[in-house]
Amino acid sequence: MIINVENLCKTYVTYKRGHTFWETVKSIFVRKKILVKALKNISFSIEKGELLGLLGPNGAGKSTTIKILTGILFPTAGKVESYGYVPWKQRKKYVAHIGAVFGQKSQLVWDIPPLDSFYMNKAIYDIKTADYKKRLNKMVTMLEAHEIIKKPTRQLSLGERMRCEFIMAMLHNPKIVFLDEPTIGLDVIAKEQIRIFIKEMNAEGVTFILTTHDMDDVEHLARRVIVINHGQIVFDGQMNALKNYLGTKKVVRLATHEKLPVLKKRGVENIRMLSEYEAELELDLAKIELNRFIKTINEKNTIRDISIHEPPIETVIKKLYE
């Protein structure tokens, strides 16, 4: 195991403050404590070379978990061992082995080219010149960033900057990389470049932990998913198992030559009417057979087109959140 977490708890202390003048004055002398349990005895382990998706709604405990794993926060209770270190106790030694890419925060210096920022990281992490040149050339080639690393960071587009953020985060050859919304705001082409880079580095043995609300990132990258809600793990398993969470349900997109009737049948749920002739439905195959459903529609309408697929991953995640 490269990361092992046992019975991790984190409780924040906040204080209740009134909104009126007298309540505010009173709170100066007497403050009522409020305990917020961000994490409630969560346990999991991560193998070397895994690409894990850590998901959950806002306020679920994802960020708290990541901050503890990176050594920024210490827990209220529980044990964490990451790459042989206790992150918050041995932080100086530990950070030499981890990297982080945050889509909404930059490590690059705004007014100088990324190449100069890379040299700064070379000095901070005491990277040998030969290793530095080898890794830099490799990643610049992989991300097609030969020209953009020479421009001031402020002149780069978001996609160009994110490519440089990845180089910056991985120059010191980290064994574990934390990704927080790494493709936020990027166009389709830029997202694909970043995803290919992550997959290639993962194939070389780098362990990635991905937190995101972009379900496309999860589907394209993560092989295993942990879903946290209200400070507890509600799902921990392979991506295929997550997709099968809804069991026998299928999404059917149906188009007919005649107007569609109101489809109120057992096992059929109308997701949305696209027009009078076209609808998107959810079928529970445990309650209604697909052949019987098609036969019923064909008795009154002529089917012009039909497509059947698994429920989108967003639907599965939403059910878990609920």
pTM of the model: 0.83
* Helix axes 158-170 and 129-142, enclosed angle (nearest 10): 150
The Cα 45–Cα 208 span in angstroms is 13
| Residue 82, CA distances (Å) to 23, 45, 59, 153, 179 in order | 45, 10, 24, 33, 16
| Choice among 41-45, 121-125, 193-197, 294-298 with the minimum mean pLDDT | 294-298
Query: Quick check: do 3-243 and 247-321 share a fold?
Result: no
Mean of pLDDT values over 201-206: 96
Phi-psi region of 126 (alpha: psi -120 to 50; beta: other; left: phi over 0): left
Q: Domain 247-321 maps to which CATH number in 2.60.200, 3.40.50, 2.60.40, 3.30.70?
A: 3.30.70
The Cα 214–Cα 186 span in angstroms is 11
pLDDT tens digit string along 113-162?
Answer: 999 999 999 999 999 999 999 999 999 999 999 999 999 999 999 999 99
Q: Which residue has the tokens 């489809």?
A: 263
According to the CATH classification, is domain 3-243 in 3.40.50.300?
yes
In sequence order, the 6+-apart residues with CB closer than 8 A to the CB of 165 are 101, 106, 107, 108
Q: And the tokens for 280? A: 């998107």
**Residues 139, 128 contacting (CB under 8 angstroms):** no
- Listed by start position, the domains of the chain span 3-243, 247-321
Q: And the tokens for 18? A: 């009134």
What is the band of 317 on the pLDDT scale with cuts at 50, 70, 90?
A: confident
| Choice among 3-12, 123-132, 290-299 with the minimum mean pLDDT | 290-299
Mean of pLDDT values over 100-112: 90
Q: How many residues does the chain have?
A: 322
